Amino acid sequence: MGKMNEEPIVRVHNVLATGTLLTGKIETESDFRLDGRVEGEIKCKGKIVVGPKGSLKGNILTDSAEIFGSVEGTIRAQERLILKSTALVKGDIFIQNLEIEPGAQLNGSCTMSGKENLTAQPQPQPAAPNQPLLQKK
């Protein structure tokens, strides 16, 4: 009988350090810590941590997130979103579980729903037909 070669599962995470600016899209299969600046989108199949000096101008799609710094954009977290006391979020959040510490700032709407609604991208709203409010007879 042969012995199967099984590699151990190693949990790794990525870091974008303080003083670093990245413009574009980040996709990662593991945890991600942001201490620098990102202008773009982050998709993380793990946990994303935005450190106290970290900032994001764009959207987040992740399993869970912990925000110490600032985010300007939409956050979609399939499991949990934690806003620490130093967090500043300007944008809408779509989450299943939410924790907000005193002092955290959230300027946007909050939608709490099941996982199936969290991965969908927002659809543009159709324009209302141009109709007068009152019709003359």
DSSP secondary structure letters along the chain: -PPP--PPP---EEEE-TT-EEEEEEEESSEEEE-SEEEEEEEEEEEEEE-TT-EEES-EEEEEEEESSEEES-EEEEEEEEE-TT-EEES-EEEEEEEE-TT-EEES-EEE--GGGTSSPPPPPPPPP---SS---
Q: Is the pLDDT of residue 123 over 50?
A: no
**133 compared with 72, residue with greater pLDDT:** 72
Q: Is the pTM of this model over 0.85?
A: no
Average of per-residue pLDDT across 102-117:
85
Q: Is the pLDDT of residue 87 over 50?
A: yes
Q: What is the pLDDT of residues 110-120, one digit of tens each?
A: 999 865 555 55
Give 101's contacts (C-beta < 8 A, 6+ positions apart). 82, 83, 84, 85, 87
Q: Is the pLDDT of residue 131 over 90?
A: no
Give the model's pLDDT for residue 42. Answer: 96
Rounded percentage of the chain residues whose pLDDT exceeds 90: 71
**12 compared with 21, residue with greater pLDDT:** 21
Average of per-residue pLDDT across 80-92:
97
Rounded Cα distance between 114 and 69, Å, is 26
Give the model's pLDDT for residue 13. Answer: 77
